[in-house]
Amino acid sequence: MQFDPIPEDRVWALPPIILHPFADPDGPDQLVESSRAHLMLEGLLPNGELTADELQRRFLAGRYTEIRMLFYVGKDLERWIEQCLELVERDEILRQSGVSAGSFMTMLIEHAPKSVRDKLSRWGVADYRSIFRRALGLNSAFAECPAFESLTPAFIRYYYRYADHLYTCRLQTEDNAPLPPAQFPFELFASGEYSRILERQWEES
């Protein structure tokens, strides 16, 4: 399908991405235990008196925590994409240019603004592309975060491979007009950080 090119003399400021904290007090401990259990299963650490079944349970519990964390990151990204699509619906030029959800996903993952990349780096996020890709992939398959019991051990163990393929399949299901990154700027905030910005704006108005 043929679409009109995006004019080079226009800039569309996109809404900011707001990432909410993942509230799971046991999460960090489970991730550490999962890593240790994986090393024990591989014979790289002594397993003490833990059985293979117990090590497997700890390993999968940590992997499931990762799934939950990614799923809720994906929820925030999906909300941002929906807001961007609302902008498209109100703009005749963007509608005629074939801009879709995939357009925004691709720009976010492959061409995020430097300010966004720098902030993620300050937060200690080294490979944000994989995180965002897998978060969106999981959200393409699950409307709600799946319960541990509803997933097979194989899926939990290798969820990142499934999530990567889900993301790729999602992009391939629709036409995705490429977006010139410089013409679609956006920012990224933690929810608490964004709330403080709004409070300052309200005080100054």
Query: Hunting for tokens 């800039």 — which residue is that?
Result: 11
Nearest partner of 131 among 24, 19, 1, judged by Cα: 19
Give pLDDT, residue 1.
60
Run means of pLDDT, 10 residues per run, the chain, 205 residues: 83 94 59 55 59 77 90 96 97 93 96 95 90 96 96 95 96 88 94 60 55
Nearest residue to 91 (alpha-carbon basis) of 173, 17, 184, 181 = 184
- Whole-structure pTM value: 0.84
CA dist 19 and 191 (Å) reads: 6
Alpha helix (H) residue ranges in 99-186: 101-110, 114-122, 128-141, 153-157, 159-172
The residues, ordered by sequence, that sit 6+ positions from 117 with a Cβ below 8 Å of its Cβ are: 128
CA distances from 44 to 6, 21, 35, 39 (A): 54, 33, 11, 5
pLDDT of residue 36: 56
Sign of CA dihedral 24, 189, 77, 15: positive
Q: What single DSSP character describes residue 17?
A: E
CA angle 76, 82, 84 (to 5 degrees): 105
Whether residue 93 contacts residue 10, with contact meaning beta carbons closer than 8 Å, is answered with: yes
* pLDDT for 115: 95
- What's the pLDDT tens digit per position in 108-145? 999 999 999 999 999 888 899 999 999 999 999 999 99
Residue 71's nearest CA partner among 166, 192, 169, 171 is 166
